[in-house]
Amino acid sequence: MPRKIKRWLYRHYQNNFFVYFIISLLFILGVLAGAITIKIIGPEKNNDVMLFLNSLFKAIDNNSLNSISIFKQSLIDNYKAILILWISGILYLGIIVSPAIMLFRGFALGFSVGFFVYEYGLKGFLFSILGIFPQNLIIIPGIISIASVSMAFSLSSMKKKKIRLKNNTRLSQIVDYSLIILAFSSVIFIGSIIEAYIAPIFLRFLTEYLS
């Protein structure tokens, strides 16, 4: 079974390499834009933007370091994006929505890391490595994959739209597409667990260290 999964993943990435490349590139551009924005908007607005962008800090702002609250907020933010991507893929909008969401997610990550480095220097950089990157090492590949699948499905659907397909054929394609989205969504679920139950440990450490 693991070999079949590996072969399927290999074919999937190989067949959609260009889409994954575009989505990944847009994510990187978003990261760079977020990091640059820190120096532009000024310190007064940095905190407000940080709370808007980062689910971890939204939960902290409302409920201190409550892991359950952080977990709920992370699920809301991540699965809201997944739902939008899934629907946009079916409605032929993935070509537009997927790049937009990846730019935003990249911007959020770049801004978050830039915020800590700008505010705390080396200490902020170390915290970013320990408090932000662990969950994103799982969440980012998952959301990039989902955005790429959504975009690829929209492109494929638009090409096949000229060909008259039977309703059951279209339905079968949507089911397969939805199962792929669901599989990658489970990866993001694991990332949310890490964000809720591991990242706060480093936040507490940082708070004590800076106090």
3-class SS letters over the chain: CHHHHHHHHHHHHHHCHHHHHHHHHHHHHHHHHHHHHHHHHCHHHHHHHHHHHCHHHHHHHHHCCCHHHHHHHHHHHHHHHHHHHHHHHHCCCHHHHHHHHHHHHHHHHHHHHHHHHHHHCHHHHHHHHHHHHHHHHHHHHHHHHHHHHHHHHHHHHHHHHCCCCCHHHHHHHHHHHHHHHHHHHHHHHHHHHHHHHCHHHHHHHHHHHHC
What does the pLDDT read at residue 50?
A: 58
pLDDT higher than 90, residue 147? yes
pLDDT tens per residue across span 101-112:
999 999 988 988
**pLDDT of the residue at 78:** 94
Predicted confidence band of residue 87 (pLDDT cuts 50, 70, 90): very high
Q: Where are the domains of the chain?
A: 2-210
Is the pLDDT assigned to residue 49 strictly greater than 90?
Answer: no
What confidence tier does 172 reach under pLDDT thresholds 50, 70, 90? confident
Q: How confident is the model at residue 204 (pLDDT cuts 50, 70, 90)?
A: confident
pTM of the model: 0.85
- Among 47-61, 105-119, 138-152, top mean pLDDT goes to 138-152
